């Protein structure tokens, strides 16, 4: 046991925790009594009817198997496969997110390079940043008149701030010695930006991007509950209306898994741009 690697021991512990947790959950759900075991009184008070309870993990796993074995079926507006729903959500998140990156990174660069721009824009950023993205929703719906685009706008507005602030911070904090290296080698403004400032600020910028994608994924679920139609957020809400708690729990887990995957992608990007001095 003692010569086992830390990773191996951690994996074993995780597995034990998972199994233990599932067993506890399974045991904690009271089973439905069969009709034959009911007393006269219970039968009269409707005790024999199906009770909506939290489903045990075995049912959730069954549901997961069923859904994941055919994730892309489409049987009408209220019955689509989980893959299609997640696909819609990811599409909205990425659309809003990349629009935000397209604006936040160049603007952050400008703010980081110019103390005047920083001071001029800072009050706006400070006021707009703490606004809950969902607070924009009514205004977005009114102006845009399209729920789909409004959801993308909400993602855009929530993911722009961490990227903007981190880019500005990273660019402003580039070591002066490195800028001097660029200057003494007569690199032009564009080459200095791409050869020195961008790589120097990249770890901070990617950290901002990673925070943004996390927030965007949190927000899309809430936004889709509001706008409805498609998406994983709508799916959760729809299954809640159906009182299908098995599907609710399954989709909650799927939200977690997709969020983890999005974060891991940026983790890889981060490892790629990081450098040590």
Partner 1 sequence: MTTPFLSVERLSQRYPDGEGGQTTIFENASFGIERGEFVVILGHSGCGKSTIMNILAGLAEASEGVVIMDGKEVSGPSLDRGVVFQNYSLLPWLSALKNVTFAVAARYPDWSKDQVLSHSKKHLEMVGLSADVFHRKPSQLSGGMRQRVSIARAFSISPKLLLLDEPFGALDALTRGTIQDELLKVWAGTNQTVFMITHDIDEAILLADRILLMTNGPFARVAESVEITIPRPRNRIEIVEHPNYYAIRNHLVQFLGKHSKELAGPTDAVENRPETVRIDKTAPAARSPKKLAV
Tokens of 2: 């003692």
Q: Is 80 helix (H, G, I), strand (E, B) or coil?
A: strand
Asked whether the beta carbons of 183 and 195 are under 8 A apart, the reply is no
Binding residues for partner 1, rule CB under 8 A, total 19
Q: Is 268 in the site for partner 1 (CB under 8 A)?
A: no
Single out the residue of 136, 143, 96 nearest to residue 226, CA to CA: 136
Q: Is 225 in the site for partner 1 (CB under 8 A)?
A: no
- Smaller CB separation from partner 1, 140 or 205: 205
Q: Is 132 in the site for partner 1 (CB under 8 A)?
A: no
**Options 21, 53, 199, 229; binder of partner 1; rule CB under 8 A:** 199
Tell me the window of 48-56, 114-122, 197-205, 213-221 that interacts with partner 1 (CB under 8 A): 197-205
Q: Is 74 helix (H, G, I), strand (E, B) or coil?
A: strand
By CB under 8 A, what part of segment 150-179 binds partner 1?
Answer: 175, 177-178
Tell me the window of 13-21, 132-140, 184-192, 237-245 that interacts with partner 1 (CB under 8 A): 184-192
| CA atoms in the 13 A half-sphere facing the CB of 51 | 13
Cα–Cα distance for residue pair 21/57, rounded to 1 Å: 10
Tokens of 132: 């809950």
Q: Is 190 in the site for partner 1 (CB under 8 A)?
A: no
Provide φ and ψ at 74, rounded to 5°: -140, 100
Residue 24 host element (H or E): helix 6-28
Query: What residues does 27 pair with on adjacent strands?
Result: none
CB of 202 to partner 1, least distance (A): 8
**Options 10, 183, 242, 257; binder of partner 1; rule CB under 8 A:** 183
Asked whether the beta carbons of 191 and 179 are under 8 A apart, the reply is no
Q: Is 184 in the site for partner 1 (CB under 8 A)?
A: yes
CB of 182 to partner 1, least distance (A): 9
CB of 212 to partner 1, least distance (A): 23
Single out the residue of 119, 108, 90 nearest to residue 206, CA to CA: 108
**Options 3, 40, 79, 186; binder of partner 1; rule CB under 8 A:** 186
Q: Is 185 in the site for partner 1 (CB under 8 A)?
A: yes
CB contact burial 188-222 (16+ within 10 A = b; e otherwise): eeeebbebbbbebbbbbbbbbbbbbbbbbbebbbb
CB of 211 to partner 1, least distance (A): 22
- Smaller CB separation from partner 1, 203 or 228: 203
- Smaller CB separation from partner 1, 39 or 180: 180
DSSP structure class, residue 49: S
**Options 180, 261, 265, 271; binder of partner 1; rule CB under 8 A:** 180
Q: Is 276 in the site for partner 1 (CB under 8 A)?
A: yes
- Smaller CB separation from partner 1, 160 or 197: 197
Longest dimension (CA), the chain: 94
Would you tell me which residues interact with partner 1 (CB under 8 A)? Answer: 175, 177-178, 180-181, 183-187, 195-196, 199-200, 202, 273, 275-277
């Amino acid at each position: 046991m003692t010569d086992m690697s830390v990773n191996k021991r951690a994996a074993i512990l995780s597995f034990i925790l998972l199994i233990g947790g599932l067993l506890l959950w399974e045991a904690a759900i009271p089973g439905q009594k069969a009709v034959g075991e009911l007393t006269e009184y219970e039968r009269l008070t409707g005790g024999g009817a199906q009770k909506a309870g939290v489903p045990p993990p075995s049912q959730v796993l069954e549901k997961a198997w069923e859904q994941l074995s055919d994730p892309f079926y489409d049987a009408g507006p209220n019955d689509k496969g989980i893959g299609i729903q997640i696909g819609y959500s990811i599409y909205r998140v990425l659309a809003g997110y990349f629009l935000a990156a397209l604006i936040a990174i160049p603007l952050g660069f400008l703010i980081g390079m110019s103390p005047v721009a920083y001071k001029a824009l800072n009050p706006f950023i400070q006021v707009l940043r703490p606004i809950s993205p969902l607070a924009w929703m009514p205004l977005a719906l009114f102006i845009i008149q399209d729920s789909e685009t409004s959801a993308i706008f909400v993602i855009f507005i929530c993911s722009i701030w961490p990227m903007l602030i981190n880019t500005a911070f990273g660019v402003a904090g580039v070591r002066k010695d490195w800028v001097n290296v660029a200057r003494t080698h007569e690199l032009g403004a564009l080459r200095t930006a791409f050869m020195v400032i961008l790589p120097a600020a990249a770890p901070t910028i990617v950290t901002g991007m990673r925070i943004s994608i996390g927030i965007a994924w949190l927000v899309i679920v809430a936004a889709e509950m509001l706008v409805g139609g498609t998406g994983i957020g709508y799916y959760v809400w729809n299954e809640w209306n159906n009182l299908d708690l098995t599907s609710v729990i399954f989709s909650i887990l799927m939200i977690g898994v997709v969020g983890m995957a999005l974060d891991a992608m940026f983790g890889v990007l981060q490892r790629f741009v990081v450098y040590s001095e």
